[in-house]
Amino acid sequence: MNAVAGAILVAFGLFLISLAVVVFAKPAVAERFFMSFASSARAHYTEQVVRLLIGASLIIRSAVMWQPKVFWLVGCVIVLSSLVLILAPWQWHHRFGEKVRPILIRRMKLFAIGIFAFGVLLLYGVFSAVSPNATYISITLTEGL
């Protein structure tokens, strides 16, 4: 389960970095992508399922990640906010999106810098993980010498 959570987080980190690149390379494509958020019930529930998957992956994987408490907390916030959005009528999310999307589009490059940074931080968190067996292996190898 931990390996699957790690793979999901790596894929999400790479997605965030790629999305940031698209914002600068092809802003019209990125704008269409952002405008699709909360645009229909299907988009709303798909977003929430993906968010739940990412949040749960953060919670599962956080114990072996760099800064485990921070990533655990971020995972919990994502899961809880997704559950609230799933329980709320999707039209509320849609109305909120109608107000926020134009602001996001106007500041898309600034947003891209943030998602790029989070993507890099997420990848660093996953790949700088300390194996729970590292201490055992180190002690075993030292004793053998």
Q: List, for residues 29-86, the tens digit of each pLDDT value.
A: 999 999 998 889 999 999 999 999 999 999 999 999 999 999 999 999 999 999 999 9
Whether 140 shows a pLDDT value over 80: the answer reads: no
* Stretch 116-128: mean pLDDT: 96
What tokens were used for 14?
A: 């790479």
Give the chain's largest Cα–Cα span. Answer: 66
The residue among 131, 98, 128 whose CA lies nearest residue 9 is 128
Q: What is the pLDDT of residue 132?
A: 55
Q: What is the pLDDT of residue 134?
A: 47
Which residues, in sequence order, are CB contacts of 56 under 8 Å at separation 6+? 5, 75, 79
